[in-house]
Structure 1
Amino acid sequence: MKSMKQTTRNDYARRIARVTEAIFRDPARARSLEDWAALANFSPFHFHRIYRAMQGESLADTIRRARLTLAARALAMSARSVTDIALEAGYENAQSFARAFRGFVAVSPTQFRATHRAAADFTLPSPVVVTRKDAAMNVEIVELAPIRAHLLEHKGPVASIPETWAGLWRWHMQAGLAGRALYPIGVCYGDPEEDCGFRYCAGLAFPDGVAASGEVTIADIVGGRYASYRHVGPYSGIGAAFQKLYGEWLPTSGHEPDDRPALEIYRNTPYDAPPEGLITDLLIPVK
């Protein structure tokens, strides 16, 4: 009899495989992140993190690979012009296609066509879901009460998120709230490695009665069941820890991600702990 862990992993793998099969079946078809998430029956908030963790590449990378694979087959098996094939693959012109194609197979489209004229020389690979080895992670299922937080929404590239945190700390000092925050909290919608649909808010939890001002707003973060993992170490390791949660722990846990954002609860800060002593609770909402 299969274990619960293996059954859950197989279920996740089948759902991710539905996506990769759809991509390779019709790579030119445009779909939204919500469409892909629905196909895999995952929450849009967490689908791409699960996909990237299990596949080892982003959704955009898979689509690009599928389009270039079909383009390679068209070059090998037809006499169509490079421009027509480039446009079908989703590229604006033959030049941008040629650059991407050279990066894919290390030769130009013309060179590839000259050396792969027979259909037997090039076959379309089947999409394969990556199987990863489980890693021991001390994860607890916790019941979190609703949290009222003062949030500053991040605007700009992911790399500049620390600037948003710096802006929130400046606001709390200028508002005369130094020492009153209970704890900092990060609220994450989507995958920071995927531009489409990603949102992040830096937040501070205060006792009741603290007003917001400027770009800082007050929001209620929904409580409920969360899978909680305590990350100890520099903030630079948070992304990798989340990837292990989504790619290794979650598919073998027997749990499903819920339609709520992931959270980062900071138990101390760089002001009172060295990088190796920073403690951050990473929480994924589960059903």
Structure 2
Amino acid sequence: MIESDINKRYCQSCGMPLRFDVEKYLGTNSDGSRSDEYCYYCLKDGKYIVDIPMSEMINIWIKYTDKYNEYADTAYSPKELRRILNERLPKLNRWKQKLETSNIHHQKIQDIVVYINNHLFDSLDADILSTISGLSKYHFRRVFQTVAGENIGSYIQRLRLEHIAHLLVSTDFTLNQISEQTNYQTKFSLAKAFKKHFGVSTSQYREKYKPMYDEQHAVITPEIRSILPMKVFCIEVGEKYKDELRYKLIWDRLTNYARQRNEEKSNDKFVSLSMDDPSITPIDKCRFYLGVIIDNKENDSQPGVMEVPGGRYAIFRHIGDYSLLHKFYRTIYEEWFPESKYRPQSTFSFEMYMNRPASTLKTELITDIYIPVIKK
């Protein structure tokens, strides 16, 4: 059999050309009949023989390139075979199903992450969350660990303690007040959990990290306004911002996504979402997203769509180079908040980019910073 035959069909798992001319090379279905979709390396009695990632499947064939060539009557080099399989396997049924399942799981966990953010100090055990996600308890724990990179209990505990750290440095609340707000049974149990996580007491943490500001400072006046919830198609950035090319690719993907959905390209609103305070949360666990706002009326449940919570926000306008934003944030947190009648509601904030850097001078770039607030 020559692989270049027009009517070739591939094993829907490993990508090998199926040898219908040699029955023993075909996999078997659950009823013992020969499969017309899978080879004997991949399917036996209706079950996959091995459960491995696609990349590992490709690596196996690269290791045995000579066997592939003998079986398929080809003469590929390992490099050529890798290129071919990298193109072929994502189109095969097994891997398309895996991708669809992975996307569904990712969206379910993303929905749970949003739910946790909105109910951080409510009762949040894995049983309740698995029910909300629609996954079994066991499957939920496993999928959450895969997507989030830590188990559900550790994740919730970390977010709670990081929020408490945020309250320590952004408010003058006593430990009793914080324990009441965060539903800890006593201030002693809170203090014990805090020290175990951060390695210092709550008082030491507050003394070390509470912002200090000078009496002489710039005057900034935000707009205090309530906004409605917004849907955002977003891509998690993580540490990709350190790689200029990958960062650009994310922006290109967002731009293409927006163009496909909206013919009036000038109306596209691009945002960045920051879920954590990098001065509190370890950098490798900070959640940072770039996104584009989509129509709230759309029933869009695809992976990557998040909802920005509605509510009262302080909206600060920054005009100038993006590289100066970090100084502007310091002014907000170290000067405006201490003297205002508001405090940050959480570590969440987002930026809305009002013009495009590709067609705007750096000194004229406009960025609106949205920080959810509540009265002190």
Scaled by the length of structure 1, the TM-score of the pair is 0.51
Question: Which runs of structure 2 are paired with 1:211-226 in the superposition (5 Å)?
Answer: 217-226=304-313
Return closer, same or farther for 1:209/1:254 CA change in 2, 3 Å cut-off: closer
Per-residue CA deviation, residues 155-179 of structure 1 (Å, 9 max, x unaligned), is 4344345543233224334x36453
* TM-aligned CA deviation for residue 272 of structure 1: 3.4
8 Å CA contact retained: 2:237, 2:289: yes
Alignment of 1:35-46 (within 5 A): 35=161, 37-38=163-164, 41=167
Counting only pairs closer than 5 Å after superposition, residues 146-157 of structure 1 correspond to structure 2 as 146-157=229-240
- CA offset at residue 128 of structure 1? 8.5
Per-residue CA distance 1:128-173 (angstroms, 9 max, x = gap): 8553114311222111122122222224344345543233224334
The one-letter code sitting in structure 2 at the alignment partner of 1:168 is: L
1:43–1:257: 8 Å Cα contact kept in structure 2? Answer: no
Q: Which moved more, 1:139-148 or 1:228-237?
A: 139-148
Question: Does residue 330 of structure 2 align to residue 243 of structure 1?
Answer: yes
State the match for 1:89 in structure 2.
none
Q: Distance in 2 between matches of 1:149 and 1:247?
A: 29
Counterpart in 2 of 1:179?
264
SS in 1 for 2:331: helix
Cα distance in 1 between the residues matched to 2:209 and 2:232: 42
Q: Where does structure 1 lack aligned partners over 5 or more consecutive residues? A: 1-30, 45-62, 67-125
**1:92-103 matched pairs, under 5 angstroms:** none
For 2:369 and 2:209, the matched residues in 1 are separated by 29
Aligned to 1:198: 286
SS in 2 for 1:138: coil
Show the counterpart of 1:90. none
**Share of identical aligned residues, percent?**
23
1:259 equivalent among 346, 356, 359? 346
Superposed, 1:161-176 pairs within 5 Å as: 161-173=247-259, 175=260
Q: 1:176-197 CA deviation, whole Å, 9 max, x = no partner?
A: 6453443111111113464154
Output the CA distance in 1 between the equivalents of 2:278 and 2:166. Answer: 20
Structure-1 residue corresponding to 2:222: 139
Ranked by relative contact order (alpha carbons within 8 Å, sequence separation 6 or more), the top structure is: 1
Please give the root-mean-square deviation of Cα atoms over the aligned residues, in Å.
3.5
Q: Give the conservation status (yes or no) of the 8 Å contact 1:37–1:43.
A: no
Please list every run of 5 or more consecutive structure 2 residues that lacks an aligned counterpart in the other structure.
1-156, 171-197, 201-206
CA deviation string 1:199-239 (max 9, x = no partner): 11111123456686986x22221111111110001111222
What is the distance in 2 between the residues matched to 1:192 and 1:128?
A: 13
Equivalent-residue separation in structure 2 for 1:201 and 1:128 (angstroms): 26
Where does residue 110 of structure 1 map in the other structure? none
How far, CA to CA, are the matches of 1:128 and 1:282 in structure 2? Answer: 23
Distance 2:271 2:241 in 1: 17
Q: Is the 8 A contact 1:191 1:198 kept in 2?
A: yes
User: CA 1:163/1:233 → structure 2, altered by over 3 Å: closer, same or farther?
Assistant: farther
Aligned to 1:102: none
Counting matched residue pairs gives 177
Structure-2-length-normalised TM-score: 0.40
Compared with structure 1, are the counterparts of its residues 41 and 191 closer, same or farther at alpha carbon in structure 2 (3 Å cutoff)? closer
- Rounded to whole Å, the distance in 2 between the matches of 1:130 and 1:39 is 13
Partners in 1 of 2:316 and 2:290 — Cα distance? 19
* Structure 2 counterpart of 1:152, one-letter code: I
